[in-house]
Chains A and B, each alone.
Chain A
């Protein structure tokens, strides 16, 4: 689409109205995953492996089955045996099945091995103790570097796909290599080359709502599923495959969702609840405990990375190279390819090479977490850049500006950028009062850029007008953070009726066509684009009704401010006809008026951000305080700016947790040591400062209003920006996350020799 077709003057878009679901959510009325029940409902509970790696020799559930409160017990045998195993991600349904209920082996601490349905939640929990499992414990590995070593236990033979070169350990299951130019020649041209190694630990998305669902599946193969999910169509498709039923026979309704951040893009308990329901012939509800959430749902990958960058004295980068090893649990899927592709994406480089490894270990199956893979790579790359700036005495923003990718740059991962906003974010950073503010003793400042692709994905939207001129909009992307408001704003903009007259519903799988998951920062972009197009479709039909009424050609009618108006030679011949006047008679003038849009939009438009962070390190305790934080990010066009700011602030806060505190801690026995919020500490209100935001708007040519997704880019820069701030405050380079107090104390001690 040419930019000239893009709308740039708005009446509703860019305002900050109350969200349509606000009242429900402040009164406790909104129904989240665990907030429903059904007549005759049973409660499910899942038995989990206490071992990191063990052969399941025998499961004896006879005692549980004999208990009067227990109505069903399921194991792997109760799921479909027709789901094919394939290498890599080609057999993702099999991978999900294997994760949802273990087959021959338990692959991590917390892996589901059996489940029960009983008459109460307490009875279900008690019944788990009656199931006897014989395990043959096997050697395990949880560290990414150790999992790639020659002597590492093999988690699953045959899991590696075609991309993996000969000679690597079978735990390496996917391989990515890309770049352009000649890095060796580039390093030769540099005045200074810095090469360093970095690690990050796995963190959890940490949504406050645990997974929850209510399932009903009858002997007729027809089912109903209510669950908290980022994508109910993928839940539908996956559950149908795992249970061996037809997709269309399972209707899935998404509850309100209490956070996901990527972690609710797949299924965990849903197929189990359906299997229990099928067996017991009653509805079954399963709600995970927090500890189950930590032990058995998607943390991020952990990473081990080597980065080498060459720079001239004037700050220009001559070459860059990165090797990124990501551990993603006992299944293929760690986004080593994403890490590699994003790592150098902010820079316009002549010589660049990046390699990514997807490595399996005895940990839970990694799941997406906001820009999956990108924050780790940015941490390594932007740390090396900071070190180069320090050693060459250069300003970190100037150096980034000098090397920044711009419109027409060839991206490190291949394509050529269209219109992008990185330079604008850096210029805003340079001009921001934060960047010029003096630092107190003991404080350091850090800068980092970040990149994320953004995503379009399959999308269906339907809009129906009512007789009284109000509109109902059906979208298929669960509302994670105010998307009903932005959809209504976009529809109001096109229809020209008040925002309040539009009711947005997240439709279930039976009432709308397929929709991809709410992920990839795609909701405002793709559901928004579809909403605009569906509304335009309805407008065409409204104009046609007006044309028929006036007896003029359809193309002689245009839509202005909520009214059909005659245009061209007929201009001024008739009074403008408001939407409600047309809909009032629609039954008699041709029937209901609706608009639809179904497509896979491809122009998501990449997004960049720049963060400025001040940190203060207490040399006595090693504790870091974040004293000031500024997020600058390109939104393309902010539809509801308050929720855009919220995405920026939330991403920064999660990044602060990842950088300073959060980590999966495994014992020698391969068991997770910190599976409650007391021990896995996410940032609380008293840990954080206010988080300033600057919304940059460089329109995305691929969206009618210029929108770029904003959900994910915000978590890419924080790890590096905070590490740079801490390193500058402490006078020592921090290479391992999280920068917990003991780590910082050790680094300070090493610095002082």
Chain B
């Protein structure tokens, strides 16, 4: 099958790649752009490990085709920190031990960032429902939820 040319923006950089129309955005990020921060935990939209934002909207990149990324603005975990400056969520996740194995972490961070941009003052329940699409098998979510809630409080104070 002949490949299609895609131009898009990833974490602010313009990029181009050729992809098979069957390849997902996740495949393209990982295999063509070497951005392996987003993970494939399921490939069926159930685990959230592949979470990225597309034009600011949180999506499972395993459910979107690479060709659909043409002309869009993609953000991945690799773009979360500003240079050496970690995003407050990244900092807090380390401090709270909100990761054990860390495979879910990129997806959880991208999803949590999208939550706080939409709702800077979530209740615990809102945070739990927002992150219900991000499976974590290691932590029992306790420290993840605490890290997100505490980051939200810090960011509100700072703004």
**A-to-B contact residues, CB < 8 Å:** 16, 18-19, 21-23, 25-32, 34-35, 37, 120-122, 205-210, 256-261, 287, 289-290, 480-482, 640, 642-643, 645-647, 649-650, 652-654, 676-678, 682-688, 690-691
Contact = CB atoms under 8 A, between A and B. Distances in A.
A696 B70 CA distance: 56
A646 B94 contact: no
B46 A677 contact: yes
Contact of A259 (B20, B30, B137): B137
Interface in B126-140: 127-129, 131-140
B129 to A, nearest CB: 5
A28 B41 contact: no
B47 A690 contact: no
A205 B137 CA distance: 8
Given A26-B93, A678-B44, A684-B134, 10 more contacts: A19-B94, A207-B101, A208-B135, A208-B137, A259-B101, A645-B97, A649-B140, A677-B44, A684-B132, A686-B131
Contact of B106 (A28, A120, A640, A649): A28
A657 to B, nearest CB: 9
B22 A122 contact: yes
Interface residues of B, number: 60
A685 B46 contact: no
Contact of B128 (A256, A646, A685): A685
Q: Lowest 4 CB-CB distances: which A-B pairs, in order?
A: A28-B37, A258-B103, A653-B140, A25-B102
B96 to A, nearest CB: 7
B153 interface: no
Nearest to A27: B81
A23 B146 CA distance: 19
Given A26-B109, A208-B47, A677-B135, A642 B97 contact: yes
Interface string B72-103: 00001110110000100010011111011111
A16 B97 CA distance: 9
A215 to B, nearest CB: 18
Interface of B: 20, 22-23, 27, 30-31, 35-44, 46-47, 49, 76-78, 80-81, 86, 90, 93-97, 99-106, 109, 125, 127-129, 131-146
Contact of A209 (B41, B140, B142): B41
Contacts of A683: 140-141
A646 B135 contact: no
Chain B binding surface SS class: loop
8 contacts: A18-B95, A27-B90, A31-B36, A256-B102, A290-B44, A683-B140, A684-B133, A688-B140
A120 B20 CA distance: 11
A120 to B, nearest CB: 8
A18 B94 contact: yes
Given A28-B77, A649-B143, A209 B97 contact: no
B131 to A, nearest CB: 4
A676 B97 contact: no
A480 B127 contact: no
A691 B142 contact: yes
Nearest to B77: A28
Nearest to B1: A122
B93 A677 contact: no
A258 B143 contact: no
B78 A650 contact: no
Contact of A258 (B39, B43, B90): B39
Given A26-B109, A685-B145, A482 B49 contact: no
Given A35-B36, A208-B47, A26 B22 contact: no
A482 B47 CA distance: 22
A209 B103 contact: yes
Contact of A208 (B41, B44, B140): B41
Contact of A290 (B42, B94, B129): B42
A108 to B, nearest CB: 21
A481 B101 contact: yes
Given A28-B106, A682-B137, A677 B47 contact: yes
A686 B96 CA distance: 20
B41 A290 contact: yes
Contacts of B22: 122
B139 A28 contact: no
Contacts of A642: 96-97, 143
Contact of A646 (B36, B40, B42, B97): B97
Contacts of B38: 28
Contacts of A32: 36, 39, 103
Contacts of B125: 686
Given A25-B105, A26-B109, A643 B97 contact: yes
Contacts of B46: 290, 676-678
A688 B142 CA distance: 9
A686 B90 contact: no
A34 B96 CA distance: 27
A685 B131 contact: yes
A425 B39 CA distance: 39
A289 B100 contact: no
A676 B146 CA distance: 29
A210 B41 contact: yes
Contact of B137 (A21, A645, A650): A650
A688 B100 contact: no
B138 A481 contact: yes
Contacts of A684: 131-135, 141
B128 A686 contact: yes
Contacts of B139: 646, 649-650, 653
B138 A646 contact: yes
Contacts of B35: 28
Contacts of B78: 27-29
Contacts of B76: 28
Nearest to B144: A685
Given A25-B102, A684-B135, A676 B44 contact: yes
